[in-house]
Amino acid sequence: MNKTCYGQLIFELSRPGRKGYSLPQNPWADTPQETLPAALVRTQPVGLPEADEPTVARHYTNMSNNNFGVDTGFYPLGSCTMKYNPKINEEVAALPGFTSLHPALPADYAQGALRLYDETQKILAELTGLAQFTLNPYAGAHGELTGLMVIRSYHMKRGDTARTKIIIPDSAHGTNPASAAVCGLSIVQVKSLPDGTIDIDSLKEVLGPDVAGMMMTNPNTLGIFEHQIPEIARLVHDCGGLMYYDGANFNPIVGICRPGDMGFDVMHINLHKTFSTPHGGGGPGSGPVGVRSGLEAFLPCPKVVCRDGHYELVKEDGETLGQISSHLGNYGIIVRAYAYLLSIGRENAHLVGQLSVLNANYIKECLKAFYKLPIDGLCKHEFVFDGLREDYGGDHSDPAHATTLDVAKRLLDFGFHAPTIYFPLLFHEALMIEPTETESKDTLDAFIAVMKQIAEEARDNRTMVKTAPHNTPAGRPDDVRAVKDAIFTYKPTAD
């Protein structure tokens, strides 16, 4: 690792007059030389860095090497479904027929693109057991907001204005209550049982004529399948509410069971998680929203409709909740998901779910002798450890015990991305692992071996773990100070 390049700006590598090119005086040119009108000529130097090409190439290459991605190594970040994204998706999305299409082109000139949109929404409808999807929302959280707006429109349309509450389990992802609040709903929390599933008694207490609906993630953020779904859906429906499915964890049930069959009325899917689009650092994403039959009309515009084999764009109709994105959302992401779905095929869809569950359970079983497993038993695509076991340095009565943060930092030394840490909030030392189906057994075994080694180090050589990482470009940034005392400007080092 070239540490000297870390933290140096291209401006610091600049030398006056240095150029990345050389041009001949060009005595052969038959193009006459033109001078710009004086009014357009800059009077101050522009202040761009001046550097030779090798310096520029090395600077950016070294910077990219300081980064970590799915193409660099194993990325078991729980809740994020960081699966490998097949390169064919990129090739298809880069076809000029897609990239050079103007979003404002009349539908007549974009029939192929609209057909791809329509077929993608139909495949999603088939996989989820719902009637229709909009692909317009930009991300999971945006899909949540859109879906909740559908639920609100449904109640408003019936003149039922008293339904202002949304029920959300305490294990939910933070975007759930945030989206509900943005939608103007008030949040009612229900508790989880020790086995991680919803406490039905706690649910019954909050049901009533003011409930708009309930948001659920299944399997939930602990990777546990909510086996009481039919009962929960019945209770919520009986009191007049609708069931919202947070489909961020759709991965382990793809091709095996369907939210529509479980009693959900509205859901979103994170195309950038389940359907293999590169993501991280905030985007780009796509959060299609599906609804059961009877709710289609509320979906946002523009809507893609097919009439006699001809695709049209509906920009406004009587019932729609309106427009929630520009045009049809992040179209390039939809193309990637379509390519992935077609390359998997209907006959292989179930393998996505099965293999992601197998991989997660394999890691869990191999490591539970070293890390605390608060909820034992079969998990779905991900699971949560509650830090190291007592006999492996995780004894909290010892002030110098090894924490989940220490384990995550030490993992970086071995070229693995850390799992999600300190989420979900149900456990103090949460360490949430999601391997996804795209990893080979060799990769899983290598990860397991390192996790065991770290546990042994935490017992026998704790300083090694507590002072990690030892060979990454950055060590342990002070994240509290970074928040409280943020520095947004950079002072070049004097040379």
Ligand X SMILES: *Cc1c(COP(=O)(O)O)cnc(C)c1O
- Residues in the site for ligand X, rule: CB under 6 A? 79, 139-141, 173, 175, 217, 221, 246, 248-249, 270, 285, 287
Closer Cβ to ligand X, 144 or 429, answer by number: 144
- Residue 107 DSSP code: G
Closer Cβ to ligand X, 249 or 404, answer by number: 249
Who contacts 348 (Cβ-Cβ below 8 Å, separation ≥6)? 255
- Closest contact distance (angstroms) between CB of 360 and ligand X is 15
- Closest contact distance (angstroms) between CB of 458 and ligand X is 28
Closer Cβ to ligand X, 144 or 439, answer by number: 144
Closest CA to 154 of 264, 298, 291: 298
- Closest contact distance (angstroms) between CB of 238 and ligand X is 26
Closer Cβ to ligand X, 82 or 373, answer by number: 82
- Residue 13 DSSP code: T
- Closest contact distance (angstroms) between CB of 142 and ligand X is 7
- Closest contact distance (angstroms) between CB of 44 and ligand X is 43
Closer Cβ to ligand X, 270 or 404, answer by number: 270
Closer Cβ to ligand X, 336 or 389, answer by number: 336
- Closest contact distance (angstroms) between CB of 221 and ligand X is 5
Edge-to-edge strand list for the sheet holding 242-247:
132-134, 289-291, 266-269, 242-247, 211-217, 165-169, 186-190
Please, are residues 258 and 237 in contact by the beta-carbon 8 Å criterion? no
Report helix, strand or coil for 9: coil
Edge-to-edge strand list for the sheet holding 420-421:
383-386, 430-433, 420-421
Closer Cβ to ligand X, 6 or 422, answer by number: 422
User: What does the block give as tokens for 454?
Assistant: 């770290």
Closer Cβ to ligand X, 79 or 146, answer by number: 79
Closest CA to 405 of 366, 448, 369, 454: 454
- Closest contact distance (angstroms) between CB of 269 and ligand X is 10
Q: Name the helix (H) or strand (E) containing 187.
A: strand 186-190
Closer Cβ to ligand X, 130 or 468, answer by number: 130
- Closest contact distance (angstroms) between CB of 280 and ligand X is 10
Closest CA to 330 of 70, 132, 98: 98
Question: Which residue is it, tokens 């996989």?
Answer: 127
Who contacts 18 (Cβ-Cβ below 8 Å, separation ≥6)? 50, 51, 52
User: What does the block give as tokens for 307?
Assistant: 């009439």
d(CA 270, CA 350): 18
Please give the C-alpha separations between residue 462 and each of 47, 394, 428, 458, in angstroms, as whole numbers.
50, 11, 20, 4
- Closest contact distance (angstroms) between CB of 144 and ligand X is 7
